[in-house]
């Protein structure tokens, strides 16, 4: 943990540890052992420890005041603890400031973790591009390649820049950008995008955009901008402080001045005002509310759900619109043959010939088909056409297996009433087709049904896949609204539209989902199979990819928020009782401190209930 922190966070942690050590040493020597020192020396020692612990808070309050943020949380802490020092309550002043600093450190650390760089996106941008210049092929960084130049991409390589194919044909894995589960066939004249993987054939591209304007760079920029917008969200305590702090300061000012003008007894009423400020310090809230969320996060982690910070658990609890990616989220991302349509041959014969022919191809769909038949036979490859399929000699017969264009290129008629992913022909006659698609996760339908029972207004799918594939999955799992064939920037646009209608919980797993995850009100990534980019951009990570963890996470978030609100109401009620009493009676500081500490203990005990949510309410 320590090594994963940035330098500023490590420095601050060391300061807190040192401050806590100094505070304990001071308490032991001056309050327990009672080493004889003068009143001035005791005061100076406590003030020195206070300045060491609270300098960052006080300087922050001054800075915010200069920027017009007068009633900040730092201002309340500074005024209240300085008031305690003036009243001679030195141990309490330092303790409150130290507790506040510790709570703020944990909050800041959570924010740092949520802003981790999305390294997987950077890895999508290859370091080198193979460029044709002056009749020679040279290796350059993508930044040095100009629009209009020709680059060469070999099978298995990632495409470095957006371009138009001017030579060759291939199959391209676009899942990193679009979420499209099926590899796309590309030929001369088609556009391909940076970050995609060239699977089968050598191609030459005419560059159509610089690296700064490439598809991958656009996704990276979208993610960073969305994260920056989300980082401005206020925490629970900050929102509370914006209301509570000015009320307390104004009341203290009125208490110290109005009665003094009337009675002329400035000493008594200023003292009461300072007591008022000291007692008003929301110590119980500063400790118990973050602790409540910390316990809720711990409970979630026991169930395989990683929540990056308290604000994300709060957002999760308030979400009312469930939005999903398709491939890898609602589906497994693995291919399977869903339907076999034979023509003039048996089903087993169609499967056998298709599988034997596809053994010669490295295409992902071909591997899926070839796995259907494990028997042996005499088979010999005649040729493979990149992006189309293969032709093989099997038991003396010529067999073609591939897409419809492969059969049509050989002059073979494909019946209009059959559809599939792989068409097969034997000796010049189409003998059928096999439909291939990815598998729906067995927990998908139950998860969506449970979210609806929890009060979610609707469920939506945003997919880069084809409309037919997306609609089939959404119908099977109970999705209310479906949007297909979306590039990442259009996914973000749809998310912004949905976010204007409600508080969205988006669940995805791919690199193309990173901007949408970051832009959503609450973003959940499938952590087991999810990309690093999605995991880093998400607020919540489902470690085992079980979608039923989502409604459980929502229930944990809602229970945690309920406990936090209980602590808030209870703390404010007790505070109000002590403060109102302090207005009319000069209560001793130790009574106020006992009440404050007692409330702190009660709120802490209540907060610990969030850790034991096995069956959330």
Cα 515 to Cα 107, 177, 481, 506, distances in angstroms:
23, 11, 20, 11
Contact 153, 386 (CB under 8 A): no
Helix-then-strand count for the chain, H and E: 21, 22
DSSP-based three-state secondary structure for 163? strand
325 carries an active-site annotation? yes
> Would you call 313 exposed, middle or buried from its count of C-beta atoms within 10 A (0-12, 13-18, 19+)?
buried
Q: Which positions ≥6 away from 494 have C-beta within 8 Å?
A: 462, 483, 486
Helices (H), 171-235: 175-178, 215-231
* DSSP-assigned states of every residue in 279-300: HHS-HHHHHHHHHHHHHHHHHH
* DSSP-assigned states of every residue in 305-355: EEE--HHHHHHHHH--EEEE-STTTTEEEEEEEEEEEESSS-HHHHHHHHH
Check 325, 513, 532, 596 and give the catalytic one.
Answer: 325
Structure tokens at 7: 């330098």
State whether the Cα torsion 551-553-555-561 is positive or negative: negative
How far is 152 from 131, CA to CA, in rounded Å?
Answer: 6
State whether the Cα torsion 335-341-347-351 is positive or negative: negative
Q: How many residues does the chain have?
A: 617
The DSSP symbol for 173 reads E
Residue carrying structure tokens 């929301």: 282
Cα 166 to Cα 6, 189, 215, 369, 446, distances in angstroms:
47, 6, 19, 31, 48
The order of strands in the sheet holding 136-140 is: 136-140, 129-133, 150-153, 203-207, 163-167, 191-192
Residues carrying an active site annotation: 325
């Amino acid at each position: 943990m320590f090594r994963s922190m940035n330098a500023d966070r490590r420095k601050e942690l060391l300061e807190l540890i040192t401050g806590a050590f100094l505070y304990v040493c001071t308490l032991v020597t001056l309050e327990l052992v009672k080493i004889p020192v003068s009143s001035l020396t005791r005061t100076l020692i406590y003030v020195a420890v206070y300045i060491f612990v609270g300098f960052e808070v006080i300087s922050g309050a001054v800075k915010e005041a200069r920027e017009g943020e007068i009633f900040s949380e730092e201002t309340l802490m500074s005024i209240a603890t300085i008031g305690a020092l003036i009243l001679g309550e030195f141990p309490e002043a330092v303790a409150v400031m130290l507790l506040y600093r510790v709570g703020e450190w944990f909050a800041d650390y959570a924010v740092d973790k949520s802003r981790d760089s999305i390294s997987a996106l950077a890895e999508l941008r290859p370091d080198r591009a193979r460029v044709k210049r002056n009749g020679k092929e040279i290796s350059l960084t993508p930044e040095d390649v100009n629009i209009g130049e020709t680059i060469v991409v070999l099978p298995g390589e990632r495409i470095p820049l957006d371009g138009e194919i001017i030579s060759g044909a291939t199959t391209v894995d676009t899942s990193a950008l679009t979420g499209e589960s099926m590899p796309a066939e590309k030929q001369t004249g088609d556009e391909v995008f940076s970050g995609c993987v060239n699977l089968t054939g050598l191609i030459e591209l005419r560059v159509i955009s610089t690296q700064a304007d490439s598809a991958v760079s656009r996704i990276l920029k979208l993610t960073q901008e969305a994260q920056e917008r989300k980082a401005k969200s206020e925490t629970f305590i900050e929102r509370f402080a914006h209301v509570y702090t000015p009320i307390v300061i104004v009341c203290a000012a009125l208490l110290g001045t109005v009665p003094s003008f009337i009675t002329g007894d400035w000493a008594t009423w200023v003292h009461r005002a300072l007591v008022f400020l000291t007692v008003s310090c929301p110590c119980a809230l500063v400790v118990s509310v973050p602790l409540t969320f910390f316990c809720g996060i711990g409970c979630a982690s026991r169930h395989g759900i990683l929540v990056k910070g308290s604000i994300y658990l709060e957002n999760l609890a308030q979400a009312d619109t469930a939005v999903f990616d398709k491939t890898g989220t609602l589906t497994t991302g693995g291919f399977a043959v869903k339907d076999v349509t034979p023509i003039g041959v048996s089903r087993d014969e169609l499967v056998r010939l298709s599988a034997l022919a596809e053994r010669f191809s490295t295409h992902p769909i071909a591997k899926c088909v070839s796995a259907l038949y494990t028997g042996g036979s005499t088979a010999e490859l005649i040729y493979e056409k990149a992006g189309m399929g293969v032709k093989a000699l099997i038991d003396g017969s010529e067999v073609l297996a591939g897409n419809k264009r492969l059969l049509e290129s050989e002059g073979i008629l494909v019946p209009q009433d059959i559809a599939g992913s792989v068409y097969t022909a034997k000796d010049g006659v189409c003998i059928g087709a096999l439909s291939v698609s990815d598998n729906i996760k067995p927990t998908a339908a139950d998860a969506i049904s449970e979210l609806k029972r929890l009060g979610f207004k609707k469920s939506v799918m945003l997919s880069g896949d084809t409309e037919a594939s997306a609609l089939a999955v959404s119908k099977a799992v109970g999705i209310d609204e479906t949007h297909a064939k979306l590039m990442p920037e259009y996914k973000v646009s749809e998310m912004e539209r949905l976010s204007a209608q409600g508080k969205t919980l988006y669940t995805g797993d791919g690199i193309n989902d990173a901007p949408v995850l970051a832009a959503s009100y609450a973003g959940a990534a499938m952590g087991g199979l999810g990309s690093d980019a999605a995991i880093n951009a998400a607020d919540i990570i489902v470690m085992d990819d079980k979608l039923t963890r989502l409604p459980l996470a929502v229930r944990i978030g809602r229970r945690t928020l309920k406990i936090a609100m209980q602590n808030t109401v209870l703390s404010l009620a007790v505070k109000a009782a002590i403060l109102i009493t302090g207005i009319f009676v000069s209560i001793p500081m130790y009574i106020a401190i006992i009440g404050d500490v007692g409330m702190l203990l009660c709120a802490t005990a209540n907060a610990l209930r969030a850790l034991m949510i096995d069956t959330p309410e």
